[in-house]
Amino acid sequence: MTKERLQPVQDGGEWQPRDPESATRWKQISSEGGFPDPLLELIAARFRLLGEPLRLKLLAALTGGERSVGELVALTGASQPNVSKHLAALMQGGLVKRRKVGTSIYYTLADPSVLTLCDIVCAGVQERFTTLAQTLQLGSAMALEDLPPVEESEISGSGPRQ
């Protein structure tokens, strides 16, 4: 989510969606006794779908509209079997839908709300790295691609224990 669709919170430290109702749904339901386990499983499954970089690439490619499998292979640089496997998972999860024309299959986004989620996560990552750069006194002009790579263990917290 871009900062145009976000606004600073009163304390100035974090960003939230401009629609306050959507920002409070999670808090309201969890404060009213929590979510039922089956709903939490569905939410977790949606997040697991988005936990694969190639699937995120595919979703990003589909933001421009319907694309064939061949186009998606060319755009992502992945093999056709790999692209097809991930498209099947995204389709089963309800994030994309497909249309067959002759021997070609075309995919499009089925749930555009996933783009809002990706926007929010991207804004959070960008804010984190901006804060990190400022903390390290590197200045805000530093681009995201100029930062050192983040190790998998830093993201998942599964690094070696000291």
Exposure b/e, 86-124, CB count within 10 A at least 16 = b = bbebbeebebbeeeeeeeeebbebeeeebeeebebeebe
Task: From first to last of the 162 residues of the chain, give the pLDDT tens digit.
Answer: 444 444 444 344 444 444 555 556 666 666 667 788 898 999 899 999 999 999 999 999 999 999 999 999 999 999 999 999 999 999 999 999 999 999 999 999 999 999 999 999 999 999 998 888 888 876 545 555 666 666 665 555 444 443
Task: Give the 3-state secondary structure of residue 39.
Answer: helix
Q: How many Å is the Cα radius of gyration of the chain? A: 19
CB-neighbour burial class of residue 38 (10 A; exposed 0-12, middle 13-18, buried 19+): exposed
H or E segment to which residue 108 belongs: strand 104-109
pLDDT on residue 92: 96
The domains found in the chain, sorted by start residue, are: 51-133 (1.10.10.10)
Q: Is the distance from CB of 69 to CB of 80 less than 8 angstroms? A: yes
pTM score, whole prediction = 0.66
Tokens of 154: 């830093």
pLDDT on residue 53: 96
